Amino acid sequence: MRLLPRDSAVFDDAAALAHHVVAAADVLVAMVGAGGAERLDLADRLSAVERTADEATRRLVRTVTSSFVTPFDRGDLVTLATALDDCVDALDEVAGALLATNLGELPAGVVEQLALVQRQAEVTAPAMTRLRAVRDLADYWVEVSRLEHEVGRAHRAILADVYGAGPRGAGDLLRSLAAKEVADRLLAAARAFEVVSRTVEAIAVQEA
């Protein structure tokens, strides 16, 4: 155990991990506009980001657990590291759903979900660089929660389209079910980001 706090290392490692979250979201968005071999290549790139994020998560956890003094509760910091990694995993699962369902052009509701999740990633990264002033991050966790609510709203609209539409051909039904699979994964990703924001909020409450 180190005898001195490693505040800088903890915060730097958290910021680096959040960078991988944004990278994963950006690659996923690029996948939507790609097709065929390019989409496969981008999925491989996202998987590589996921593996790098795993390494960054382990590095952050090592920093936390090997420091005698940590800036925040050690358990909360480990929870935060795991939650950030879960976001990357969730985005990778969306990519897997895109490949498995072989969706071409995505329905407007799914595109909306994806844009909202990407925005969650974009607001999460700078928040992780400001953890030293965790009590000043209320705007961050409120925004992430708002975005998660919007993803849920879009998801409910997709479900209504899948289950509430009238008779349709087999092809249309399969496309609707494929869209639902991707939408389900995007909702899970949005909820993963909310877990991160709630963890940050809990840390802020303890520091108040």
Return the structure tokens found at 102: 């072989």
Model confidence at 47, pLDDT cuts 50, 70, 90, reads very high
Boundaries of every domain in the chain? 7-207
Give the integer Cα–Cα distance in Å for 56 and 63: 11
Range from 29-33, 149-153, 182-186, 189-193 carrying the lowest mean pLDDT: 29-33
Concatenating the DSSP letter of every residue in 95-114 gives HHHHHHHT--SPPHHHHHHH
pLDDT of residue 207: 85
The answer on pLDDT for 206 being more than 80 is yes
Measured CA distances, 71 to 5, 106, 190 (Å): 7, 44, 27
Mean pLDDT across 4-33? 88
Mean pLDDT across 24-46? 93
Asked if residue 193 lies in contact with residue 120, where contact means CB atoms within 8 angstroms, the answer is yes
Is 105 or 43 the better-scoring residue by pLDDT? 43
CATH class of the domain at 7-207: mainly alpha
140-163 per-position pLDDT tens digit: 999 999 999 999 999 999 988 877
pLDDT of residue 3: 38
Return the structure tokens found at 9: 């290392």
Give the integer Cα–Cα distance in Å for 85 and 80: 9
pLDDT of residue 173: 65
Q: What is the overall mean pLDDT for the chain?
A: 90
Q: Per DSSP, what are the bridge partners of residue 67?
A: 2
92-136 per-position pLDDT tens digit: 999 999 999 888 888 899 999 999 999 999 999 999 999 999 999
What percentage of the chain reaches a pLDDT higher than 90?
A: 74
Return the structure tokens found at 173: 């039904």
